[in-house]
Amino acid sequence: MTEKPSLHLLIAAPRGFCAGVDRAILIVDRTLEKYGAPVYVRHEIVHNRYVVDELKAKGAVFVETLDDVPDGAPVVFSAHGVPKAVPAKAEARGLTWLDATCPLVSKVHRQAERLVEAGRHIIFVGHAGHPEVIGTFGQVPPGAMTLVETVDDVLQLEPADTDALAFLTQTTLSVDDTAEIVEALRARFPGIVAPRGEDICYATSNRQAAVKAITARAEAIFVIGSPNSSNSLRLAEVAERGNVPARLIGRAEEIDFDWLGSPKVVGITAGASAPEILVREVVAKLATRFTITEEEVRTATESMIFKLPRALTENA
């Protein structure tokens, strides 16, 4: 019997679920407990197929619009946030609704409202079409915000009043890319008002820092997450920027051993919506081809916990 080659795994920490994702999943679970199945969820509660399938098995029904929610059924809004028109429509229909928007996204929503009330036009740094961007734009009147995705977009801006600008950012962006865009904004518009504190969430920043720590030693990196997960995509980009080949995979079965080859050291991390069970699954799959040793590389410890909506804690 041929002896398996050795492979040392550098497992990034923090990785996987953040407090906002924990809260969102718990909201769906508690809503199912309180009201019984089915519970409708507008958009994927978080961007992870495994999580969505687990909740479907418990009785959650995922829809893209409130028009697909029957009268009288409870509905949960996803962690990415929704435009103001969505809860307003739910109220008008008399639906029981619960908001699983991450509190850090909600903070950006409130900042947007305050800035527009103060007469400022907002330059929003984000990715077109992402649910978080759609939700944030939906907090303010049409035309009150302009989206930029790159430094080139910043250079093309022609605002009506350069003295009344502010900027905000999507919470799941690349820290490095965003810093470059913000630098370009400040250079073009020195009076632009910055957000109160960092918009990119602590979990996104921490996971990117952990990936940077393992790129110094890894020959390849697996990022566990869904292709529609912004923060997971950014983790793969951070690895590539560190000149380490990276692959975004949803499950262990997606490991391409031909691509991987015969490395001695491989890094593993997971996006903020990927559960730890998927990390263990990937390690187990690698162990079918290699003799594994594991090392956790920790760059931060997270203790954040977000409260559940009052409707789920009353009389609990």
Question: Which positions are catalytic?
Answer: 132
Helix (H, G, I), strand (E, B) or coil at 81: coil
Helices (H), 138-272: 151-156, 175-188, 202-215, 230-241, 257-260
Helix (H, G, I), strand (E, B) or coil at 6: strand
In one letter, which amino acid is 238? Answer: V
Helix (H, G, I), strand (E, B) or coil at 310: helix
From the CB of residue 126, how many other CB atoms can be counted at a distance below 10 Å? 25
Contact 239, 211 (CB under 8 A): yes
Q: How, if at all, do strands 39-42 and 6-13 pair? A: unpaired
Q: Which residue is it, tokens 């918009």?
A: 199
The tokens for 3 are 């002896």
Looking from the CA of 211 toward its CB, the CA atoms found within 13 Å total: 38
* Distance, CA of 79 to CA of 308 (rounded, Å): 12
* Distance, CA of 195 to CA of 169 (rounded, Å): 8
